[in-house]
Structure 1
Amino acid sequence: MSTHEMDVYDVTIIGGGPAGMYAAFYSGMRAMRTKIIEAKTELGGFMRTYPEKLVWDVGGVDPIPCEQLIDSLERQARTFDPTIVFGQEIAHLERLADNSFVITAKSGERHYSRTLILCAGRGMTQVQKLDVEGANRYELTNLHYTITDLSRFKDKRVLISGGGDSAVDWANEIVKWTKHVTVAHRRDQFTAHELPVAEMKASATVMTPYSISRLHGVGDKIEKVALEHAETGAIEHLDVDEVVVSHGFDRDFGELLNWGLAKEDYGMTVDPRMRTSIPGIFGAGDCITYGSKVRLIAGAFNDAVLAVNSAKLYMEPTASDMAGVSSHNARFFEKNKTILQNY
């Protein structure tokens, strides 16, 4: 089959999280024929794990629940009508004679593209569950690994186990609803950002270095938790109504790591222009790493812009280095007229 007989895209984006969605929008600004392939059944990526979590650090956007931010990003991603494919986990990579790529999903579907942008986020994540005997019996009642409804914690005594950004952010959100919040962390130092940690310490009881050693329940609900001191082994018992475990996620990039891409401990290696070790393949977001990498949603947007620009120049070396700013970009002329008519 020749490339003329194949449906070849300019860029195929693997992953539909914030980096993938913004890459789709920006590639439209650069007049590139674009496809997104998402392994799950909806866009949003890892942000779907925390739909009610407030996001504060996106430039120019008021604090906004994750779910609403996803909706805005998806509307933006669809501005130039990219093709979006759901439910396909990409496995195999092959370079064709004309230097384009064919990537194959585990289900057998084949996709053809001149360039690829890896926006796989944290991969196919699996929550790290609480390794305590009998913990699974409480998962349908008052042991939580994610939070979808803050109101269920109203006037409750809540224990949060964890020391990363998610644990601290949840503590700061839940405390507005609860009777009392206790945060237990197995280390003295938290890995979350400094300001949220300071806010948490001002409003919640913090127990370090402690970890959950046993759950005491009546029927299918936890009523008391045993917390063990990491150094002395001393046990403290805590009466609780709800327990939130935020111990992170196991990352699995599947077959992507078998493509021969250079990688480090925390993702695929890219250069400052988001180029991977395989020509024609670029990266953006949490799945990549480089010296000045910023692991924020805002950082993912910048990665996406650089990756798209590099993909454009890979195909057309004489193209401009970047798209024109939106106020002067020809792709927006007609859209601007429609929008301004509604003001």
Structure 2
Amino acid sequence: MNTIYDVTIIGGGPSGLFSAFYAGLRDMKTKIIESQPMLGGKVHVYPEKLIWDIGGMTPITGQQLIDQSISQALTFDPTVCVNTKVRTIGKEDNMFIITTESGEKHFSKTVILAIGSGIVNHQKLEIEGAEKFENTNLFYSVRSLYDFKDKSILISGGGHAAIDWAHDLHGFAKDITVIYRGEKLSGHEAYIQKIKNNGTPILLNTQIKQFVPSLNGSTIQQVILENTTTTEEKAIHVDAVLINHGFLKERTIAFDDSITVERDKERNYKVVTNGKCETSVPGLFAAGDIAEYPSKIHLIAGAYQDALHAVNSAKAYLDPTANPTARVSSHNETFDERNREIFESRIKEKTTIK
């Protein structure tokens, strides 16, 4: 027999994870469906970056945010399906039928779309044999700063991510060279000026032509660079290569005409909602980057507010007599036992230290 959920959240990034927590707090039987093999969403792109603009939280790395968000989302034991791509969302007799790529069907009374701008994958370098170095010294993101400590790094890319890493790794790496295929860098102007002030070499109209492997063939030892204007070539020694050529975005869900969508200036699909994160389909809600409405805040902090609105709207859809919001945690009996356990643990820790 197919289990029917009060709410199914499609997407396991910040807005989806907080939606799962808050739905659990509102006593809703909850499921999360995530297309990637792991929860955390687009934050996996920048696990070592420091995030400063989340209210009440001191600087936190992307990976710390992922870990804490997952822990919070699982507080009320939602069902979690990872590595599951949703293809269609249909509605029959007030029941949503969610069909996945494998043909599996999920049933839910309400749905919250929290899919961001779709599945995000790094644009890979199109050089023969490049993939064999991905397990050694070819990188598409900075998973750990220590992968680059005291090393000669080549950064390929001229956008925000490439320039940010050239700035952040200065003084940590041995030396850094930035190359870009175009005539002008497109990253943050202030950071471009900073890396210039740091003396970081910047080679414009330049691209990677070939990797020269080490004697054992497992790592990149040299990179052959080509000037895209003159075709002149030069070789440089490297310990690591970091590629930031943008992202490929995959939108797996086919929206039918009942769902009002529009495109932003970057041609990303957005689901039109009102201030309560309600879409044009009753019972279907949207939160985070996929949702669009006047005065939208495109920050992680804004995604949390979207999650609250979406869950509260879903609760009201299921039960019009329900309270508009959940009780705040400081006065919510749901947390009484958990709070007691935490307090006792802290007292025990203090006693042990003394």
Give the TM-score range, shorter chain: 0.7 to 0.9
SS of the equivalent of 1:78 reads: helix
Please tell me whether the aligned partners of residues 163 and 187 of structure 2 are also in contact (alpha carbons under 8 angstroms): no
Which whole-Å deviations, capped at 9, do the CAs of 1:135-194 have from their partners, x for residues lacking one? 5565454332123232232222212222444323323332242112233343635345x6
- CA shift for structure 1 position 23: 0.8
Q: Which of 242, 258, 276 pairs up with 1:244?
A: 242
SS of the equivalent of 1:279 reads: coil
Distance 1:179 1:278, change over 3 A: same
Which amino acid is the alignment partner of residue 319 of structure 1? A
- CA shift for structure 1 position 300: 1.9
Q: Residue 13 of structure 1 corresponds to which residue in structure 2?
A: 9
SS of the equivalent of 2:305 reads: helix
2:137 is the alignment partner of 1:142: yes
2:82 is the alignment partner of 1:86: yes
Could you tell me the TM-score, scaled by structure 2's length?
0.81
- CA shift for structure 1 position 133: 6.3
| Equivalent-residue separation in structure 2 for 1:318 and 1:195 (angstroms) | 52
Q: Residue 119 of structure 2 corresponds to which residue in structure 1?
A: 124
Q: Which of 60, 65, 72 pairs up with 1:69?
A: 65
| Mapping of residues 33-112 of structure 1, within 5 Å | 33-97=29-93, 99-112=94-107
Which whole-Å deviations, capped at 9, do the CAs of 1:14-71 have from their partners, x for residues lacking one? 1111111111111122222211112233211222344333333322323333222211
Which amino acid is the alignment partner of residue 129 of structure 1? K
RMSD, aligned α-carbons? 3.0
Which whole-Å deviations, capped at 9, do the CAs of 1:286-312 have from their partners, x for residues lacking one? 333344333332222222122212222
2:327 is the alignment partner of 1:324: yes
| Equivalent-residue separation in structure 2 for 1:283 and 1:334 (angstroms) | 32
| Equivalent-residue separation in structure 2 for 1:249 and 1:71 (angstroms) | 23
Unaligned runs of 5+ in 2: 347-354
Q: Residue 274 of structure 1 corresponds to which residue in structure 2?
A: 277
| Equivalent-residue separation in structure 1 for 2:324 and 2:235 (angstroms) | 59
Q: Which of 293, 299, 304 pairs up with 1:296?
A: 299
Q: Residue 351 of structure 2 corresponds to which residue in structure 1?
A: none
Which whole-Å deviations, capped at 9, do the CAs of 1:231-251 have from their partners, x for residues lacking one? x65868472412211122111
Please tell me whether the aligned partners of residues 182 and 204 of structure 1 are also in contact (alpha carbons under 8 angstroms): no
Q: Which of 110, 113, 117 pairs up with 1:115?
A: 110
- CA shift for structure 1 position 91: 1.8
Unaligned runs of 5+ in 1: none
Q: Residue 182 of structure 1 corresponds to which residue in structure 2?
A: 177
Distance 1:168 1:300, change over 3 A: farther
| Equivalent-residue separation in structure 1 for 2:71 and 2:282 (angstroms) | 31
Please tell me whether the aligned partners of residues 53 and 66 of structure 1 are also in contact (alpha carbons under 8 angstroms): yes
SS of the equivalent of 1:251 reads: strand
SS of the equivalent of 1:59 reads: coil
- CA shift for structure 1 position 77: 0.6
SS of the equivalent of 1:255 reads: coil
SS of the equivalent of 1:19 reads: helix
Aligned residues: 335
| Equivalent-residue separation in structure 2 for 1:302 and 1:208 (angstroms) | 43
Please tell me whether the aligned partners of residues 267 and 286 of structure 1 are also in contact (alpha carbons under 8 angstroms): no
Deviates further, 263-272 or 209-218: 209-218
Please tell me whether the aligned partners of residues 178 and 202 of structure 2 are also in contact (alpha carbons under 8 angstroms): yes
Which amino acid is the alignment partner of residue 328 of structure 1? H
Q: Which of 187, 200, 209 pairs up with 1:205?
A: 200
- CA shift for structure 1 position 72: 0.9
Could you tell me the TM-score, scaled by structure 1's length?
0.84
